[in-house]
A and B are shown apart, each in its own frame.
Chain A
């Protein structure tokens, strides 16, 4: 797999990884990459500090005094040396024809100091002249869940991820990976690229666009160096798969912050939004929204229109749910006459309603076959483009804990509907007083590919991405 022949293919599919300059007592990078070694990858250390070598070897990692001394061709290196040493390490990596290297080392142009700027310029010139794949500096580097290359000790190792993530920020790269995991979603590949002196968003984007293991691309960007090149790469990507772009520094104060963070300039918010729309990308404003949109793209069927049928358990929820979806520009209108007639034949209208939004707890009364009947009627209704259903933990949690088989039956029914239906189906479950319990439930919904959201607002915002959804 991967993209054979692509300039980034070796570092994105490494068989040999070198960690340069890791230090005790934690040996953060060697520990992060233990899963790579456990999966048969060649993990090596480069360290000349005698005090550190015993600790490195205790971790089972062979240590060498230089990159040149490593017996295998290095596909990817993580460099964590002091900044003034970085140019020397880069020179050795270039000489060794390594596939690429991430420089965790910081203290470059982002500091605004003369020395930092000068060192960054030296690295930039070396990378440019040699065409070497420098990731960063001032970054967390690559996270390759399938082969076990990681930038944090708790991000999942898994081979089934389908989402590629690019991040100018290391924290957002790690947070996105962890939060996706907590939602039962994995990544295919991730790059945190910081100051991006050599490889920049268009280079990584080009790889993910061609990568058969990546179905959805998301990114966190603060600024763009070569705007036209970025726009071209984005257009090429969105022609093949959905691309979600979370922009940092959208406010004036935020834009000032991006300057000191990664030394990049930021286009004003409105200009950025216009460019995103023109390039066919899906813009988002934050971490949770980005996760919600990716979840929707992966697990919902694509929508062909804006008419939602909303299924709530109570009257109050049906009103709030309708407000949230209408605010995002969706239509919540009357159902087809045939649907209304059918629903009227069995609906309990005392304290309930079969008009869209449906208020249906009194009719369903926990009976899955009644829910299935309602879903089938809405599925057949040509005035309905998409469906969303609400079930809060306020009512659900207690009975599901007492009767787990009821939850199983509900999940089976919803998963079967979502699979069979041609229309998107979104589930909203407010955790109410059961945060921890719902966090577990979230994984079960994810396994069954039922996109679950904790609030009407988050579901409705994510629903804007439905036209780009890819589930067949």
Chain B
């Protein structure tokens, strides 16, 4: 399915928020590495997909009515075997059912776990005057609480992505703080450039969040993605 098809389908359903699976498919098509994600519609399918993918995996609830999955207990990470996966599936269903009894749950996404690394956030917001603006910051509280974030207009020009990465105060974290190996900055810059090109080419995207992108010596992989469409 092309991104245009995804947009058309979402608009037909009167839906501005694309699912994680839809968002990741669009970004993967734009050349961004994303963690493999497959939708399971039953308890048995969850276990089968996890075994096919290889452990560890993560499970996330899939529902248009639950935009902030972790807030309602809809996310379980680092599941190491079949028994863990089944137990996590049941726990997610119970937690979401309790928090959002009216939510229509499409199923559960089974995801590969990214290699350990530094969590960063790559985002796009539509500025009313400037159009798509790229955002980059470290994950966790650094963006929201500390405001440690760099902005540029999309599309990024030569050197802009590295300049964004170098601008944040938390930059040393990417060099391998606390004995960690340094992150692959070229791969991270590549993610920023590809996302910026995607945003510039798709004015119908109002917001885009890759949160987190895991930056490690092996590259940069988006572990979650969220696209919000502008009003059609």
Q: Which residues of B contact A (CB under 8 A)?
A: 127-131, 133, 147, 149-153, 157, 160, 163-164, 167
Contact = CB atoms under 8 A, between A and B. Distances in A.
A325 to B, nearest CB: 20
A227 B153 CA distance: 10
28 contacts: A226-B129, A227-B127, A227-B131, A227-B153, A230-B129, A230-B130, A231-B130, A265-B128, A267-B130, A270-B147, A270-B149, A270-B151, A271-B127, A271-B130, A271-B133, A271-B151, A273-B151, A274-B133, A274-B151, A275-B130, A275-B133, A275-B152, A277-B152, A277-B163, A278-B152, A278-B157, A278-B160, A278-B163
A225 interface: yes
Contacts, number: 50
Centre residue among A267, A270, A274, A277 by max chain B CB count within 10 A: A274
A324 interface: no
A228 interface: yes
Interface in A243-275: 265, 267, 270-271, 273-275
A179 interface: no
Interface string A373-397: 0000000000000000000000000
Nearest to B148: A270
A431 interface: no
Nearest to A227: B130
Interface string A214-250: 0000000001111110110000000000000000000
A231 B160 CA distance: 14
Contacts of B133: 271, 274-275
B194 to A, nearest CB: 18
B169 to A, nearest CB: 12
Interface of A: 223-228, 230-231, 265, 267, 270-271, 273-275, 277-278
B130 A224 contact: yes
A275 B163 CA distance: 12
Contacts of A223: 129
Chain A contact residues: over half helix, strand or loop, or mixed? helix
A265 B128 CA distance: 8
Contacts of B130: 224, 227-228, 230-231, 267, 271, 275
A374 to B, nearest CB: 36
A224 B129 contact: yes
Centre residue among B149, B152, B164 by max chain A CB count within 10 A: B152
Given A223-B129, A228-B130, A278-B152, 17 more contacts: A224-B129, A227-B129, A228-B131, A230-B130, A231-B130, A265-B128, A267-B127, A267-B129, A270-B147, A271-B127, A271-B133, A271-B151, A274-B150, A274-B153, A275-B151, A275-B152, A278-B157
Contact of A231 (B128, B153, B163, B164): B153
Contacts of B151: 270-271, 273-275
Contacts of B163: 277-278
A14 B133 CA distance: 41
A230 B149 CA distance: 23
A271 B135 CA distance: 9
A265 B129 contact: yes
B129 A225 contact: yes
Nearest to A271: B151
Nearest to B130: A227
A356 to B, nearest CB: 27
A271 B151 CA distance: 5
A277 to B, nearest CB: 7
Centre residue among B128, B129, B133, B164 by max chain A CB count within 10 A: B129
Nearest to B149: A270
A258 to B, nearest CB: 12
Centre residue among B131, B133, B163 by max chain A CB count within 10 A: B133
Centre residue among A265, A267, A271, A275 by max chain B CB count within 10 A: A271
Contacts of A227: 127, 129-131, 153
A445 to B, nearest CB: 35
B131 A274 contact: no
Centre residue among B151, B152, B157, B164 by max chain A CB count within 10 A: B151
A223 B133 CA distance: 16
B153 A275 contact: yes
A388 to B, nearest CB: 26
**What are the 8 tightest A-B residue pairs by CB atom distance, in nearest-first order?**
A227-B130, A274-B151, A227-B129, A271-B151, A278-B152, A274-B152, A224-B129, A267-B127
Contacts of B167: 274, 277
A273 B127 CA distance: 14
A227 B154 CA distance: 12
B171 to A, nearest CB: 14
Contacts of A228: 130-131, 153
B202 to A, nearest CB: 15
Contact of A278 (B129, B131, B153): B153
A186 B30 CA distance: 52
Contacts of A231: 130, 153
Nearest to B133: A271
Contacts of A273: 151
A270 B130 CA distance: 13
Contacts of A226: 129
A196 to B, nearest CB: 13
Contacts of B157: 278
Contacts of B131: 227-228
